[in-house]
Homo-oligomer: A and B are copies of this chain.
Amino acid sequence: MSTPRLDLTADPIELTAALVDIPSVSRDESLIADAVEAALRAQTTDFEIVRHGNCVLARTHRGKPTRVILAGHLDTVPIVDNVPSRLTVTAEEGEVLHGCGTVDMKSGDAVFLHLAATLADTVCDLTLIFYDCEEIAAEFNGLGAVERDLPDWLVGDVAILGEPTAGQIEAGCQGTLRVRFTAAGTRAHSARAWMGENAVHKLGRMLSTLAAYEPRRVDIDGCEYREGLSAVGVHGGVAGNVIPDQAQVDVNFRFAPDRSPEQALAHVREVFAADLADGTLTAQVTDSAAGALPGLANPAAAELVAAADGRFRAKYGWTDVARFSALGIPAVNLGPGDPSLAHRVDERVPIGQITEVTQILRAYLTGASRAV
């Protein structure tokens, strides 16, 4: 298939539709990456442009005092009869663009591409990163590949990830830790239960502990983070007439970014200290990802907040902003679309949010917000 042509100077709403109309399910992003690369090469003048796998990177060298990174993934979850895009107008929702990727996150990509092509001058240097494989296992994530192979591209004063936030700045993100707690016992026929040791019965105390747990709320840079400690799975049992010799509870701890993953694990171990100390349970970490501090005290980030009329809130879910935070770069999420509509057959974005995010970022990147 020939490379589709994207008009970066068109309204970002139209550009969103054009991007949605290029299918780009994870691991199948070459066509959209070709289109983005070709458009950037043809329609911008002073960008250094690099292609790395199915990542497309572009940056200016304008000698500005600060550098802003705009990053967005190009892939989507599988299409379910929701491509190509279509526009509807209803009294209830107004003008809405429907289709896979309208929310997550081709509308954010469209805003970034449009601004790169239309802002001849900016108060900061720009780095754009469009990457692949965000919607699948972390090992395939294109931003991770950039971090490994082209680390100098991840240098900047603030990073903006175009993930859906309904047009409101969401700062930092919480970390996530998964721990599998296992109780062991001895199998026996349930008709002779006393000959066994029931592993499932050993879960009572820990589940009661979880039920009684009071999660912490903490304010960081004016963002309120809300932690959560939750059983996300419980499994045990061999057959209807067998005393189970093993039972497991998978616990997910979502922790505020003032804790490191190590501190988060220490906290979880402390919560279940009684069960761990007497050997009722053993614990094994199955997944861990650091959170990201909001970093809004940083001047470059503070200006972005000003451009958004001072509105911001904490991001609860984990996103790729954590990668930037780990590199010491303040990072926020800002993009059109309601995140709860992502990954849904009826994924759709009110087009007004695309315009709104474009205006916020245009003001920010041109310094217009200082005059507001």
A283-326, CB < 8 A from B: 287, 316-318
A168 at the interface (CB under 8 A from B): no
Pair B240/A178 contact, Cβ less than 8 Å: yes
- What CA separation (Å) do A174 and B206 show in the bound complex? 33
Q: Which of A193, A210, A316 is the most central at the interface, judged by chain B CB atoms within 10 Å of its CB?
A: A193
Interface code A194-238, partner B: CB below 8 Å = 1, 0 otherwise?
100010111111111111000100000000001011111111111
Q: Do A200 and B191 form a contact, CB below 8 Å, given A232-B240, A240-B250, A252-B240?
A: no
Asked whether B231 lies within 8 Å of A234 as measured between CB atoms, the reply is no
Q: Are B176 and A230 in contact (CB under 8 A)?
A: no
The segment from A8-16, A111-119, A241-249 that touches chain B is A241-249
CB distance from A267 to the nearest CB of B (A): 15
Number of copies: 2
Complex interface: chain B residues within 8 A of A206 (CB)? 204
Neighbouring B residues of A226 by C-beta, 8 Å: 192, 194
A191 touches B317 (CB 8 A): yes
Complex Cα gap A254–B200 (Å): 17
Bound complex: CA A159 to CA B241 (Å) = 25
Q: How far is the CB of A247 from chain B (nearest CB, A)?
A: 6
**Chain B residues whose CB sits within 8 angstroms of the CB of A237 once the complex forms:** 231-235, 250
User: Is A355 interfacial (CB 8 A cutoff)?
Assistant: no
Choice from B193, B235, B249 contacting A215 with Cβ under 8 Å: B193
Q: Is A89 an interface residue (CB 8 A)?
A: no
**A137 in contact (CB, < 8 A):** no
Between A205, A233, A247, the greatest number of chain B beta carbons within 10 A of the residue's beta carbon is seen for A233
Q: Tell me the complex Cα distance, A104–B179, Å.
A: 44
- For A191, list chain B residues within 8 Å (CB): 174, 176, 228, 254, 316-318
Name A174-194 residues within 8 Å CB distance of B. Answer: 174, 176, 178, 189-194
- Would you call A239 an interface residue if the criterion is a C-beta within 8 Å of the partner chain's C-beta atoms? yes
Indicate if the CB atoms of B316 and A228 lie closer than 8 Å.
no
Which A residues form the contact surface with B (CB < 8 A)?
174, 176, 178, 189-194, 198, 200-211, 215, 226, 228-244, 247, 249-250, 252, 254, 287, 316-318
